[in-house]
Amino acid sequence: MGIEVGGILGLIILIANVWAIVKIVQSGASTGAKVIWIVVILLLPILGLIIWFFAGPKG
């Protein structure tokens, strides 16, 4: 069993970040807001995802 927990956790974070970016692109927010949210998620993968979940564009 050569699969490490860090690798699985990293994969989960990657999937969550991709999902968040797709949701941001589909949202009704302005283009500038979308770009800022995507940059935040890319630069701060875990923290950015948490911030986006609570304060990001809805809908």
3-state secondary structure the chain: CCCCHHHHHHHHHHHHHHHHHHHHHHCCCCHHHHHHHHHHHHHCHHHHHHHHHHHCCCC
- Tens digit of each residue's pLDDT (9 = 90 or more) over 35-45: 999 999 999 98
Token pair of 44, please? 């701060």
Taking the whole predicted model, whether its pTM rises above 0.85 is answered as no
- Tens digit of each residue's pLDDT (9 = 90 or more) over 3-47: 566 788 888 999 999 999 999 999 888 999 999 999 999 999 899
**CA–CA separation, 7 vs 38, rounded Å?**
23
